[in-house]
């Protein structure tokens, strides 16, 4: 074989090796945790979504998930897994490539999850104390904005919270510092199950977002009325995040999600897509979201 023939052979062999390596590389599959939590995530026809096309368009979680998936390469496969928080944690710790848009970043979760942030703190995400309307005077004496730190000192009031749920570093810290005085926790399928318990008088208060309460009351109009009271600490809401298992497959998945956020932030249609997704927003939330997206558009990966 002459020199020219040898070079051609070597080039062809190198191309064959590269092609074989590319073909051998597995396509990315993202297993998304889903749970029915209107209005943040709603099931079409009361069943979990099977395809990205079945995701809701206007919920904070399902609507954003739909937008992010649209920013990803078509080769990425999306699987939707309905699971409770304990099962999700078990799957993640076993190394499966499972991802969630429901988990708040905490130092403990960083041991088994990668995180990237999706949205800035918004007024619509400010936690409130939810109470029965007939017990409102017990919480509004003095006319001042309620402070959770003071509420936790009132032994005559009984609170109840969902187990394994994080409310962000500030509020989680207050609950932990309260020790035995902190509200008891119970396992629930999803957080709305605590609202009928509150209506039934099983406790005096719980913590929830006003949009969740409004959706519950819309779907369940009969029964004692409930009210949401803002708390000072609720204004320190955290960044909304996506999380994936801390494994090689989970790393590929969180990188794809982070890239999709930056792609959305840079899209010429960004503002129109956000209007279609979020609808009406307060001027404050709109400005916060615009500033956040502008910064995301300029930044590199934000993964920890």
Statement to judge: residues 26 and 68 lie in one domain? yes
pLDDT higher at 222 or 212: 222
Statement to judge: residues 196 and 139 lie in one domain? yes
Statement to judge: residues 200 and 245 lie in one domain? no
Statement to judge: residues 137 and 84 lie in one domain? no
Range of weakest confidence among 4-8, 47-51, 118-122, 282-286? 4-8
Statement to judge: residues 132 and 230 lie in one domain? yes
Residue 176 structure tokens: 């932990």
Look at residue 301 in the predicted model and tell me its pLDDT.
95
In a domain, 216, yes or no: yes
In a domain, 304, yes or no: no
Statement to judge: residues 228 and 153 lie in one domain? yes
> What is the domain range of residue 260?
14-121+238-298
Domain count for the chain: 2
Range of weakest confidence among 34-48, 111-125, 263-277, 286-300? 34-48
Look at residue 95 in the predicted model and tell me its pLDDT.
84
Residue 229 structure tokens: 């009271």
Q: What percent of the chain has pLDDT over 90?
A: 51
In a domain, 253, yes or no: yes
Residues 6+ apart with CB under 8 A from 226: 130, 131, 132, 133, 195, 198, 199, 213, 216, 217
Domain boundary among 183, 218, 235: 235
Neighbours of 184 (CB within 10 A): 11
Look at residue 235 in the predicted model and tell me its pLDDT.
63
- Residue whose token pair is 């300029």: 298
Q: What would the mean pLDDT of 228-239 be, rounded to a whole number?
A: 76
Residue 118 structure tokens: 């999706």
Look at residue 164 in the predicted model and tell me its pLDDT.
77
Range of weakest confidence among 51-65, 151-165, 233-247? 233-247
Q: What would the mean pLDDT of 71-87 be, rounded to a whole number?
A: 92
pLDDT tens for each residue of 44-78: 878 899 999 999 888 889 999 999 999 999 999 99
Per-residue pLDDT band at 26 (split at 50, 70, 90): low
Please determine, for residue 243, whether its predicted confidence score (pLDDT) is greater than 90: yes
Statement to judge: residues 111 and 29 lie in one domain? yes
Please determine, for residue 14, whether its predicted confidence score (pLDDT) is greater than 50: no
Statement to judge: residues 231 and 243 lie in one domain? no
Please determine, for residue 6, whether its predicted confidence score (pLDDT) is greater than 60: no
3-state class (DSSP) for residue 119: strand
Residues β-bridged to residue 18 = none
CB contact at 8 A, 137 and 231: no
In a domain, 5, yes or no: no
Domain boundary among 200, 235, 270: 235
In a domain, 1, yes or no: no
In a domain, 150, yes or no: yes
Please determine, for residue 19, whether its predicted confidence score (pLDDT) is greater than 60: no
Residues β-bridged to residue 117 = 241
Look at residue 218 in the predicted model and tell me its pLDDT.
86
Domain boundary among 190, 216, 235: 235
Please determine, for residue 297, whether its predicted confidence score (pLDDT) is greater than 90: yes
Look at residue 144 in the predicted model and tell me its pLDDT.
73
Please determine, for residue 5, whether its predicted confidence score (pLDDT) is greater than 70: no
In a domain, 251, yes or no: yes
Statement to judge: residues 150 and 275 lie in one domain? no
Residue 113 structure tokens: 């999850």
In a domain, 6, yes or no: no
Statement to judge: residues 245 and 227 lie in one domain? no
pLDDT tens for each residue of 159-211: 999 887 878 777 888 898 998 889 999 887 655 578 999 999 999 999 988 88
Phi, psi of 208 (to 5 degrees): -165, 165
Please determine, for residue 23, whether its predicted confidence score (pLDDT) is greater than 50: no
Please determine, for residue 11, whether its predicted confidence score (pLDDT) is greater than 50: no
Give the domain CATH number at 133: 3.40.190.10
Please determine, for residue 304, whether its predicted confidence score (pLDDT) is greater than 60: yes
Statement to judge: residues 36 and 178 lie in one domain? no
Measured CA angle at 286 (ends 212, 260), to 5 deg: 85
Statement to judge: residues 113 and 253 lie in one domain? yes
């Amino acid at each position: 074989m002459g020199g020219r023939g040898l070079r051609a052979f070597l080039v062809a062999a190198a191309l064959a090796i590269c092609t074989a390596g590319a073909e051998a590389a597995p396509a990315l599959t993202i297993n998304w945790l889903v749970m029915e939590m209107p209005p943040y995530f709603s099931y079409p026809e009361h069943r979990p979504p099977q395809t990205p096309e079945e995701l809701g368009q206007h919920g904070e979680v399902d609507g954003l998930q739909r937008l992010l998936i649209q920013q990803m390469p078509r080769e990425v496969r999306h699987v939707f897994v309905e699971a409770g928080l304990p099962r999700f944690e078990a799957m993640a710790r076993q190394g499966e490539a499972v991802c969630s848009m429901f988990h708040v970043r905490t130092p403990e979760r960083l041991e088994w999850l990668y995180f990237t942030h999706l949205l800035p703190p918004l007024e619509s995400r400010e936690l409130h104390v939810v109470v029965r309307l007939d017990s409102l005077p017990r919480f509004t004496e003095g006319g001042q904005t309620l402070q959770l730190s003071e509420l936790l000192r009132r032994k005559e009031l009984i609170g109840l919270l969902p187990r394994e749920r994080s409310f962000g570093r500030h509020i989680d810290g207050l609950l932990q510092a309260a020790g035995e005085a902190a509200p008891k926790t119970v396992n629930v399928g999803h957080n709305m199950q605590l609202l009928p318990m509150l209506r039934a008088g099983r406790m005096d208060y719980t913590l929830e977002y006003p949009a969740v309460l409004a959706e519950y009351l819309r779907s369940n109009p009969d029964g004692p009325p409930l009210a949401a009271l803002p708390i000072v600490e609720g204004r320190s809401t955290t960044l909304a995040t996506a999380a994936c298992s801390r494994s090689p497959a989970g790393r590929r998945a969180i990188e794809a999600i982070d890239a999709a956020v930056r792609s959305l932030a840079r899209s010429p249609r960004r503002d129109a897509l956000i209007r279609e997704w979020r609808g009406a927003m307060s001027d404050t939330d709109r400005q916060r979201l615009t500033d956040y997206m502008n910064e995301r558009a300029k930044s590199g990966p934000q993964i920890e």
